[in-house]
Chain A
Amino acid sequence: MSNTPNANCEDCPVHNLGNLTKLGINMSQFDFVVALAGNPNTGKSTVFNALTGLRQHTGNWPGKTVTRAEGGFVYGNKRFKLVDLPGTYSLLSTSTDEEVARDFILFGQPDVTVIVVDATRLERNLNLVLQVLEITDRAVVCVNLMDEAKRHHIEIDTRRLAKELGVPVVAAAARQGEGISELLQAMYEVVTGSYICRPHRLERTSPRLEKAISELTKKIKEEFPKLPNSRWIALRLLEGDQRIIDSINNGELGNLSRSDTIPSNA
């Protein structure tokens, strides 16, 4: 996907997994926070378990994880906290689980958001990916259930997908443990800044809307210069999203600053 600094053995899967220390629920002092998002029933919890060594129950039905589950691991000498968000189809509506997921990605300021998608239902899953990419510019897409896709003779060009989305894309079959080391490597590159994401942003069809967004975005940027997603905030305000309006009034939005989360030596 991208060149690693020392490509000789760092990107060898065997070596990488050897680098992984599963910390379970021991989550003291973290260097990076990872959010795990995805549609329901895409194997998010399986990925979560594979990374943390926890055995959160994985059920084959949508909506199993209703609250946030957290776990930790060490990779490349950095301590990661992994937050498993509730599975949602979108971040637009206002159900509790979608709000939990969206608020965490927006206000929790994870260093990277891993979006787990179902390889056999890629198009539908992309809706959530596109919405996450509107909010954050640090994401990794994990195309899970590649084994099922293979069984159904579905092929996915993950390289092309990475180009289209502007973020790393990893093919995985988490139940078999395939792709986990590649996922770790991709996450590591994003959080340390060695992979700079250029996320896909939605094109607006209407010029009038586009003009309104630019105007508002300008104003927001003046007030909150550090925001990574001022266009998205502008859009939410145009839609009259009460949660975002409140966050401007109570200063929550103003406090969002990620400058301190990137280590200077990365």
Chain B
Amino acid sequence: MKTENTEAILCTANTLRWEIGEHIHDSLVESMYADANIIASRVVTLPSEKPRFDFDKKLDKLITSRWFGFPLMILLLAIVFWLTVEGANVPSAMIASFLVDTIHPWLKGAFAMFGSPWWLTGVLVDGVWLAMAWVISVMLPPMAIFFPFFTFLEDFGYLPRVAFNMDSLFRKAGAHGKQALSMTMGFGCNAAGVVATRIIDSPRERLIAIITNNFSLCNGRWPTQILISSIFFGALVPAHLAGFVTASAVVGVALLGIFFTLAVSWGLSKTMLKGEASAFSLELPPYRPPQFWQTLYTSLIDRTAIVLWRAIVFAAPAGAVIWLVSNIHFHELSLAEHFINFSNPFGLLLGLNGVILLAYIIAIPANEIVIPTVLMLTVISAKLSGLGGGAGVMFELEETNAVANVLHAGGWSALTGLNLMLFSLLHNPCSTTIYTIYKETKSIKWTTIATIIPIVMGMVICFIIAQVWRLITF
């Protein structure tokens, strides 16, 4: 559509731009501010006297204070987790007992009645159904508690204050202060966090925010953290303290994630993504009382249901895969056992084991199914009898004690638990997040970097901890 006329327009524009020779942008902004000021002065009547007590200001002073800001943030985080851990136990067990103890045998019976071949029953009932049942029972109750709390904090106006508190840290790391917001979104879902980085103007800082978003524990990983933490840390103390210690350990891992976010941001801004941090103004919105029912509704429907649905969609095929790799035999051993035996030495070097490595490969589509996969594979590889439902059957153990027994029998130690928590924090993003990163960056290079950095870090850190641990304990 280039024509002589359009060429002429652009040409005139270029000539005139040189003729004017002043900062058009500045003068435009100036006249805009001047007009806004004049209009506002004509239509706005401000209160004649200042209010004596300004609640918002007092609260802001406390929340964003140099001394109380961070402890308050950690405390709030801990309270929310504690409520989630304590509140989710009972409903989780109830849902599990319904879906696994009642529905599962019934389904098996129904399949048998219609003369389904054993492998079809295996793939569908023992694989797909149990994977979905586990995901629902483990994820639904914590999410139904965690998301409303989180949404209330968000609606109240707490998140921008967190960003405000963290701003100086991010700036020192050479990143953008708004990264604090996308990071916080990542605590819900990394894919959502990656999309949220669009609020960052500069491409350099936005890339940093995208690459480091995976260090925010997403809700698919909270259940893993909570379960492993209660087995290996909560169990070390008397029962009445267990909830507190479990929550603290999880908060510790979450804070470690924030630390890695900052450290990797700093590293990137010193190497691959060099540059100065850009300034921005962050508006602290007024505190607003959350609309209770509206918040409850949106957090349950929009967040909980959508995340749960995604988990189920990914868990179903994964369940089938687990069943198949545990039941397809090759030279006496199942495919799963072959891989576990093969990768076990490497896993042990990292303070993990072959089971965990295989579980993380199967769970690439969704982090949510790591724990059930780990348990099931442990049962097979340790040849435990009388537990679970046989090869490829994902099962729910009603008490964490029972899970602990399985894991101890599988040769787990506190080191394995600790490193699993760390590895859950530091490994490749799930496939949805990887795809989202690609969509946002349109670059295979940065997608690869964002995928590889965390897993390399996870392996290095687990390796170091394992070596140090063994030095100390032997």
Contact = CB atoms under 8 A, between A and B. Distances in A.
Given A57-B302, A130-B35, A240-B17, A123 B44 contact: yes
A63 B181 contact: yes
A67 interface: yes
Q: Which 4 pairs across A and B sit closest by C-beta, in order of nearness?
A: A251-B1, A153-B47, A95-B201, A123-B40
The winner among A97, A165, A212 for most chain B CB atoms within 10 A is A212
A237 B46 CA distance: 39
Nearest to A219: B9
A92 B25 contact: yes
B29 interface: yes
Contacts of A215: 12, 16
Given A60-B156, A152-B51, A205-B27, 16 more contacts: A55-B294, A55-B297, A55-B302, A58-B155, A58-B298, A61-B157, A62-B283, A66-B195, A92-B25, A95-B199, A127-B32, A127-B36, A203-B31, A204-B27, A237-B10, A249-B1
A100 B340 CA distance: 49
Interface string A78-98: 000000001000001111110
B13 interface: yes
A148 interface: yes
B157 to A, nearest CB: 4
A120 B74 CA distance: 32
Interface stretch (A24-32, A108-116, A154-162): A154-162
B28 interface: yes
Contacts of A3: none
B198 interface: yes
Contacts of B20: 206, 208-209, 212, 238
Contact of A41 (B5, B198, B285): B285
A209 to B, nearest CB: 6
A95 B19 CA distance: 29
A254 interface: yes
Contact of B9 (A95, A126, A216): A216
B195 to A, nearest CB: 6
Nearest to A123: B40
A122 interface: yes
A209 B159 contact: no
B39 interface: yes
Given A212-B20, A238-B24, A204 B196 contact: no
A123 B37 contact: yes
B385 interface: no
Nearest to B281: A89
A229 B98 CA distance: 64
Contacts of A248: 6, 9-10
B302 A204 contact: no
Contacts of A238: 13, 16-17, 20, 24
A212 B285 CA distance: 41
B44 A154 contact: yes
Interface string A218-256: 011011000000000011011110000100111100100
A235 B24 contact: yes
Interface in B182-227: 195-196, 198-201
Contact of A63 (B155, B157, B199): B199
Interface magnitude class on chain B:
35 or more
B32 to A, nearest CB: 5
Contacts of B163: 61
A233 to B, nearest CB: 9
Contacts of B470: none
Interface in B261-306: 282-283, 285-288, 290-291, 294, 297-299, 301-303
Interface string A37-70: 0001100000000000001111111110011000
Contacts of A155: 44-45
A7 interface: no
Contact of A206 (B22, B201, B297): B22
A235 B156 CA distance: 41
Interface string B293-323: 0100111011100000000000000000000
B39 A165 contact: yes
Nearest to A145: B286
A185 B130 CA distance: 54
B58 interface: no
A131 B32 contact: yes
B160 interface: yes
Contacts of B45: 154-157
A137 B271 CA distance: 48
A126 B10 contact: no
Nearest to A222: B5
A148 B56 CA distance: 12
A61 B154 contact: yes
A124 to B, nearest CB: 8
Given A209-B27, A240-B17, A57 B298 contact: yes
B119 interface: no
A200 interface: yes
A37 to B, nearest CB: 16
A78 B1 CA distance: 35
> Which of A58, A93, A235 has most chain B Cβ within 10 Å?
A58
A83 to B, nearest CB: 17
Contacts of B286: 120, 148
B30 interface: yes
B35 A203 contact: yes
A10 interface: no
A202 B31 contact: yes
A61 B27 contact: no
Contacts of B449: none
A219 B12 contact: yes
A67 to B, nearest CB: 7
B391 to A, nearest CB: 43
B199 A220 contact: no
Contacts of A254: 1, 6
A55 B159 contact: no
A122 B44 contact: yes
Nearest to A237: B13
Nearest to B9: A219
Nearest to A252: B1
15 contacts: A60-B157, A60-B287, A62-B283, A62-B285, A67-B195, A92-B29, A160-B42, A160-B43, A164-B42, A164-B43, A202-B31, A206-B22, A234-B13, A238-B17, A239-B17
Contact of A250 (B1, B9, B282, B303): B1
B178 interface: yes
Contacts of A56: 298
B9 A220 contact: yes
Contacts of A222: 5
A161 B38 CA distance: 11
